[in-house]
Amino acid sequence: MREVVIICLGILVLWACGEEPDCDLEVPENNITVNFFNREDSTQQFMEFISVTERSTDHVFYNSMDSLTSFELNLNPTVDEVTYVFVSSTSVDTLTVSYTTQLEWLSEECGPYFFYSKLDVVGSSFTYDLVSTFIDVTIDENIKIYN
């Protein structure tokens, strides 16, 4: 009898743990991916920026001399347009994007989250292609920039 009670308690504990949502897996994407390419042959190009910031908040995304081909840029849920400033040793360039923001209740356990959609480039000193207007974890490239 004691063994049956222990087995039942073990099953209940495992079942209760299985019901908890994994909020990290359910959270929507809140950033966009910008990839840099060579203008002449369209190969990925390593870029070296002194800093990459958001103009309205001075939020710093990158502030090193590391060379990268891809940048993840966070979106701001309090506005529907963001300008990113890319400072290199030779120039200061900007990329302004717009998007829609919607606050939705994900679940009782996870709470509310912002969902972003309808990405668009409204201004840029770069030559670019808007690859995807969707903002989702399945999207590995939103904007191609040619340098």
Q: At which residue do the structure tokens 């002449």 appear?
A: 40
Q: Which residue has the higher pLDDT, 80 or 9?
A: 80
d(CA 20, CA 66): 40
Summarised one tens digit per residue, pLDDT across range 94-147 is 999 999 999 988 788 888 888 999 999 999 999 999 999 999 888 899 999 998
Task: Note if the pTM is more than 0.75.
Answer: yes
d(CA 143, CA 36): 9
Tokens of 118: 């309808």
Do 139 and 30 meet the contact criterion of CB atoms below 8 Å apart? no
Going by DSSP bridges, is the β-strand pair 31-37/143-146 parallel, antiparallel, or unpaired? Answer: parallel
Q: Which residues contact 88 (CB under 8 A, 6 or more apart)?
A: 47, 48, 49, 50
User: Of 135, 137, 58, which is closest to residue 102 (Cα–Cα)?
Assistant: 135
pLDDT higher than 80, residue 83: yes
The amino acid at residue 97 is V
pLDDT higher than 70, residue 14: no
The amino acid at residue 20 is E
pLDDT of residue 131: 97
Phi (first) and psi of residue 12, to 5 degrees = -65, -40
